[in-house]
A and B are shown apart, each in its own frame.
Chain A
Amino acid sequence: MQALRYARATSIDEAVRMLREGGETARVLAGGTDVIVQARERRRVIDLFVDIKHIPEVMALEYDPQHGLRVGAAVPLYRVYGDANVQRVYPALRAAAHVIGGKAIQGRASLGGNLSNASPAADSIPAMMALDGVAEIAGPNGRREMRVDEFCTGPGRNALQPGEFIVALRFPQPAPHSGQAWERFIPRNEMDIAVVNAACALTLAGDTVTAARVTIGAVAPTTIMVPAAVEALVGRRLTDDTIAAAGTAAKDAATPIDDMRGTVRQRKHLADVLVQRVVRAAAERARGN
Chain B
Amino acid sequence: MVATPQKPAYKVIGTRPVRPDGVDKVTGRAAYGADVVLEGMLFGSILRSPHAHARIKRIDTSKALALPGVKAIITNADFPTQESGTLDLGEGSANPKWLVDNVLAGDKVLYHGHAVAAVAAVDWHTAEEALGLIDVEYELLPFVIDVREAMLAAAPILHHDLRTNVRARNADTPKDRETNIAMHMRVEKGDLDAGFAEADIVIEREFTTSQFHQGYIEPQNGTAHWNHDGQITVWTSTQGAFSVRDQVATLLGQPVAKIKVVPMEIGGGFGGKIPVYLEPVAALLSKKTGHPVKMWMSREAVFQATGPTSATWDRVKIGAKRDGTLVAADVSLCFAAGAYPGSAVGAGVLCALAPYAIPNQRIDGFDVVTNTPKTAAYRAPGAPAAEYAVEAVVDEIARALDMDPLDLRLKNAPDEGDTNSSGAPWPRIGAKAVITAIKESAHYNSEIQGEDVGRGIALGFWFNGGMESSSSVAVNPDGSVSLILGSTDIGGTRASLAMQLAETLGVPYEAIKPQVVDTDSVGYTAVTGGSRTTFAGGWVAYDLGQEIRKRLTERAARIWGVDVSAVTYNDDATITGTDKDGKAQRFTFEEICRRLPSTGGHIAVSAMSRRNTAGPAYAGHIADVKVDRETGKVTVLRYTAVQDVGTAIHPSYVEGQIQGGAAQGIGMALQEEYWYDDQGHLRNGSFLDYRMPVANDLPPIEVILVEVPNPGHPFGVRGVGEVPIVPPQAAIRNALRDAIGVNFYHTPVTPTRILDELLPRA
Contacts and interface: CB of A to CB of B under 8 A. Distances in A.
A3 B125 CA distance: 8
B338 interface: no
Q: Which range holds the interface residue count of chain B?
A: 20 to 34
A193 interface: yes
B632 A266 contact: yes
Contacts of B751: 185, 187, 195, 266
Contact of B759 (A187, A195, A265): A265
Interface stretch (B637-645, B654-662, B683-691): B683-691
Interface stretch (A81-89, A220-228, A256-264): A256-264
Q: Which of B684, B751, B759 is most buried by chain A, counting CB atoms within 10 A of its CB? A: B751
A193 B129 CA distance: 30
Given A190-B696, A193-B688, A185 B752 contact: no
A187 B633 contact: yes
B750 interface: yes
Contact of B693 (A188, A259, A261, A263): A188
A88 B694 CA distance: 30
Interface residues of A, number: 23
Contact of B696 (A187, A189, A261): A189
B694 A261 contact: no
Interface string B120-132: 0000010011000
A66 interface: no
A38 to B, nearest CB: 13
A259 B689 CA distance: 11
Contacts of B129: 2
B694 A189 contact: yes
Interface string A120-132: 0000000000000
A45 to B, nearest CB: 11
B762 to A, nearest CB: 7
B614 to A, nearest CB: 37
A192 B129 CA distance: 30
A1 interface: yes
Given A260-B684, A263-B752, A191 B694 contact: yes
Contacts of A187: 633, 670-671, 691, 750-751
A38 B110 CA distance: 28
Given A260-B675, A260-B683, A265-B759, A192 B691 contact: yes
B145 to A, nearest CB: 14
Contacts of B687: 191
Given A265-B759, A266-B752, A185 B631 contact: yes
Nearest to B690: A260
Contacts of B691: 187-188, 192
A266 to B, nearest CB: 5
B755 A265 contact: yes
Contact of B762 (A1, A185, A265): A265
A188 B694 contact: yes
B323 interface: no
A269 B759 contact: yes
A199 to B, nearest CB: 17
Contacts of A266: 632, 751-752, 755-756
26 contacts: A1-B128, A3-B125, A42-B128, A185-B631, A187-B671, A188-B671, A188-B691, A188-B694, A188-B697, A190-B694, A191-B687, A191-B688, A191-B694, A192-B691, A193-B688, A193-B689, A195-B751, A259-B683, A260-B683, A260-B684, A263-B752, A265-B759, A266-B751, A266-B755, A269-B759, A270-B631
Interface of A: 1-3, 42, 185, 187-193, 195, 259-263, 265-266, 269-270, 273
